[in-house]
Amino acid sequence: MTIESILGAIVIGAVIGALGRLFLPGRQPIGWILTIVVGIVAALIGTAIAQVLGVETTPGIDWIELIMQVVLAVIGVGIVAGIRGRSRV
């Protein structure tokens, strides 16, 4: 692993996590670091699912893969926000 790949994962995770929070209605009681972690995990799982389903990699933006990643981020943010919300009560 190079520093570029680590920084790339953080940036992609931040974007995917932010989109997940944007599309999830309501307020989520999680911080930006947890949002990035959820985004990174969603990006990795979404890419793996896309590869298993045979979604082809294109030179541009892989829209199907991106949609999978964002949907997984919405689910992940919802789960983490639900767990964090319950633990603060």
What confidence tens digit (pLDDT) does each residue in 75-84 have?
999 999 988 8
Residues 6+ apart with CB under 8 A from 58: none
Residues in the chain: 89
pLDDT in tens, 13-57: 999 999 999 999 888 888 899 999 999 999 999 989 998 998 888
The pTM (predicted TM-score) of the whole model is 0.86
Angstrom CA distances, 66 to 17, 35, 44, stand at 12, 17, 11
CA 19 to chain centre: 8
3-state secondary structure of 29: coil
Residue 4 has pLDDT above 90, yes or no: no
